[in-house]
Structure 1
Amino acid sequence: MKTTIERAKGTIRFAPKEPLVELEKDKKKESLLMLHFTYGSMRFKYSTGFKICFENWDSEKQRIRNKAGILDRDYINNFLSDIENEVNKECSRLISEQIPVTKEALKDRLDVFTNKTSVSNVEVREISFFEYAEIFLNEKEPIISIITLRSYKQTLSKLRSFESEKNIDLNFDSFDQAFFNSFKHYLEVQDYKKNTIRKHVKNLRVILNSATNDGINSNLKFKNRDFSISSEITTEIYLNKQEIEKIKNLDLSKYQDLDRARDIFLIGLSTGQRISDYNGLTKENLVNINKHEYFRIKQKKTGKVVNCYIEPHIREMMNSKYGGEPPKKMTEQYINNYLKQIGQMAEINEPVICISTKGGKEFKETQPKYELIKTHTARRSFCTNKFKEGKRVEDIMVFSGHSTTKEFYKYIRITEEERVSNIVNEGFYN
């Protein structure tokens, strides 16, 4: 039975070049001993230069057996340990320096280690921007949210499309002010909103900053203050208590999908969580703390665990419709479409003036409020209504996840008069 030596980033094993079942037929027949290294989908083989036979090889320990008469046993086994360590060190170095782990890179390192070649003969190849970007995403994937990962991938897709349309090769030296102006115009022509363009530029700067810190990039022109786009305050609504009651009391018994979408939305309104956290809750999320029932949620974006009180109307809804459990998950796009229908049926018709920059031009239009209702409206409504009730901002932020009060105040939708009044009521002048 073969065993493997597990590593954080790869797997190493030593085995004869010929199958053991063949060598077992002639236990004194010698076969070249090979190093096998697996890293993801990559398979790398390398000759150790030593030959072994079946009767002298311990396939469990992957070393020469401790037998009398094998004079060079310790020397060979020590060499195998050394070459194993060399592979792991080189792999770790490549990963830490954001360089792809390739067969060529490992072979070059081991050739130097075994004196098959000198360091001066090893070719050093510069890593390209897109190669680095892929490594960056692979490293970040375990620690960032799916939404953030998707955002980075979208940015890289736009950059590849830009590269193809302009018939250029983007490299680290490409990112200067001329590139920025051209890329910005390219996205504007496609009618992207200002905040969407800002998102792609911001994502690019994050990748370039990482490459700079890793010593891969030396072009710092992207740090220029003109290589950025200011954010635009978008027209986002919140639902007041009266509007929420209209939605809650709406009879949707004849419309099963609308009914479930509304119930999922009510959980969002009650907990203040993001759609990724309040859509798809199960009985596993239900906990009791000091005789009260809560949704225990690990926020996908922050990793923070929050306990959200289950209000009586939410418990009643789950009992009467879903066997005591939360409603089953629904595709976010469907929920957004259904919410607009629900808002219209609830006669949430207040006209809202919407101002946005699209394709580099400012647009102003008036829409009925129900057209602006979406899954994120639940979270914004929770924060805004709790604030207007006089709840402490720090307490609301426990659930919302905002890191600073500055960001919180930018997030909620209240008038300046309401904000000032709330600050005074909290005891600012006491």
Structure 2
Amino acid sequence: MAKVNVFIKKDYIDKLGDAPILVEYNHEGENWRFNTQLKANPTLFGCVFDPDIDLYKLTALTTLTPARKKRQLAHNAVLKSIQEKLSYIIEVYTTNKIAPLPALIERDYTREENTSTIKSKSVNDWYDEFIKCKEGTIGDGINAYRATWRHFKNFNSKNQIFFLQDITKAKLEQFKDYVKAQGIKGAGIHKQFKNLRVFLNWIETEFEEVEVPSCYKKINVKARYGKPIGLSVNQFLQLYNVDLSAFPELQRTRDLFVFGVSIGGTRHGDLKRMSESFRKHGYTVDQGVITYFERKTGNEHQEVLVNRFGQEILAKYSKFPYVPTNQRMNANLKSIANKLKWFEIKFLPRYNEYGKLVTVEEVPLKDILSTKFMRKTAATIDNYLGIPIKTSMSRTGHKTFDAYSRYVDINKESMEAANNKWDEMFEKASDSRPEGA
């Protein structure tokens, strides 16, 4: 005899104290069990059969908060839909005098399962699927999305937002206040909402049948960044030429930095992976080109030409230098900057989430030199040398001009170069001007 049973699997409790809700179908000694993707705390809820509606449902074991009551109602709506669908399929088999074997019921139930379960997915389920999808394409860049989700789950620990339709402008404003309370400021707040926007846009693009609330587009969060700081041509050459032969570790760090800048400004993680590959498989200057993929974005750098700065460094070592940790490399770069007496003051503005200036920090260049300067220095020198923007963007890996422009430091050196061009044009104009004009 065909029988459907719904129950909370109490021996699978997660960190929040929730257990999965399973459905089991039995017929003549065979069974089929599946996870509804719903969860309930077994100390708060029980799953019982209600003879009035002839269905299983969640019932409260104690007084519930409004949020938990709302979650109970949402779960029961999904359970009702699942059981009604199963009953319909079983009835069709019985009417047609076909044995409703579990294997057959499973086949027909899962035939349209994607459509029916997509709409009943929780926000947690959606985000888990989003992370799995992105993991294979952007590598380490997934950490930013994971961090945003950790903030969101901590904020939403009482499950006020369970389904997509629960996302409202008011709730997102509360999330913004929560993020600010964690000490995240300015562009950092914008980053959290940018990640949420990417997540929701992904659902909207991949699953057209799902209605995604548009309220996230109305949250007033503005990204405003300070002026980029990269080494000027003269500073880069000072770094390149400084004698560090008495400090082998500092010399290796300098050479790695120069190499990274010379090929377009790699991130530390990409440079480290490149080093591991070269040390394992070898590299000769005669190859002349490098191909690598950015872990953060997945962007491809296909056959990057190695200029003479890079070639000289590759020829200098029998084996490509080992890239130290980002922390160690930053400490070494600051030591080098201190030896170069880079006391020039740099101004670091801080903005709030609305783009309004809050403070301006004054720090010497020697205290802020880091691996992040590789990309900014590459873009800054490309601009100074007059390399076409599209070519420079291909070297740095930026896809949009807005993102690229945040890495170009228009410093005094580049302004003087521009002024010299104007002076040259003035001289030409003066030479061709008639006397007395």
TM surpasses 0.5: yes
Percent identical: 21
Q: Does the CA-based 8 Å contact 2:301-2:397 persist in structure 1?
A: no
- d(CA) in 1 for partners of 2:166, 2:290: 49
Aligned residues: 320
1:190 CA displacement: 2.0
- d(CA) in 1 for partners of 2:220, 2:417: 32
Q: Does the CA-based 8 Å contact 2:261-2:377 persist in structure 1?
A: yes
1:398 CA displacement: 2.3
Q: 1:223 to 1:369 in 2, by over 3 A?
A: same
Deviation digits for residues 169-221 of structure 1 (CA, Å, limit 9, x no counterpart): 54323322212221111111222131111111111112122233425753423
- d(CA) in 2 for partners of 1:371, 1:174: 46
Q: 1:216 to 1:384 in 2, by over 3 A?
A: same
Counterpart AA for 2:183: D
Q: Does the CA-based 8 Å contact 2:203-2:212 persist in structure 1?
A: no
- d(CA) in 2 for partners of 1:326, 1:272: 18
Q: 1:200 to 1:298 in 2, by over 3 A?
A: same
State the SS of the aligned residue for 1:157. Answer: helix
State the SS of the aligned residue for 1:375. Answer: coil
1:119 CA displacement: 5.8
- d(CA) in 1 for partners of 2:284, 2:108: 63
Counterpart AA for 1:160: K
Q: Which has the higher contact order (CA 8 A, sep 6+)?
A: 2
State the SS of the aligned residue for 1:354. Answer: strand
Deviation digits for residues 98-134 of structure 1 (CA, Å, limit 9, x no counterpart): xxxxxx99xx7996762589869x9966211011100
Counterpart AA for 2:214: K
1:381 CA displacement: 0.9
State the SS of the aligned residue for 1:305. Answer: strand
Partner of 1:183: 175
1:265 CA displacement: 0.9
Q: 1:242 to 1:415 in 2, by over 3 A?
A: closer
Matches within 5 A, 1:102-121: 114-115=104-105
1:153 CA displacement: 0.6
Partner of 1:251: 243
Counterpart AA for 1:293: G
Q: 1:201 to 1:258 in 2, by over 3 A?
A: same
The one of 136, 140, 152 aligned to 2:134: 140
Partner of 1:293: 288
1:410 CA displacement: 3.8
Is 1:237 equivalent to 2:229 in the alignment?
A: yes
Partner of 1:221: 214
- d(CA) in 2 for partners of 1:403, 1:326: 29
- Deviates most, 328-337 or 405-414: 405-414
Q: Does the CA-based 8 Å contact 2:382-2:392 persist in structure 1?
A: yes
Partner of 1:38: none
Matches within 5 A, 1:24-423: 114-115=104-105, 126-147=120-141, 149-164=142-157, 168-213=160-205, 214=207, 217-224=210-217, 226-275=218-267, 276-279=269-272, 280-281=274-275, 282=278, 284=281, 286=283, 293-300=288-295, 301-320=297-316, 322-323=317-318, 325-357=319-351, 362-414=358-410, 418=415, 421=418
Counterpart AA for 1:191: G
State the SS of the aligned residue for 1:244. Answer: helix
Q: 1:170 to 1:311 in 2, by over 3 A?
A: same
Q: 1:163 to 1:299 in 2, by over 3 A?
A: closer
- d(CA) in 2 for partners of 1:134, 1:314: 42
Gaps spanning 5+ residues in structure 2: where? 1-24, 35-81, 90-99, 426-437
1:157 CA displacement: 0.5
Q: 1:388 to 1:420 in 2, by over 3 A?
A: closer
- d(CA) in 1 for partners of 2:299, 2:374: 20
- d(CA) in 2 for partners of 1:130, 1:234: 35
- d(CA) in 1 for partners of 2:240, 2:411: 26
- d(CA) in 2 for partners of 1:318, 1:303: 24
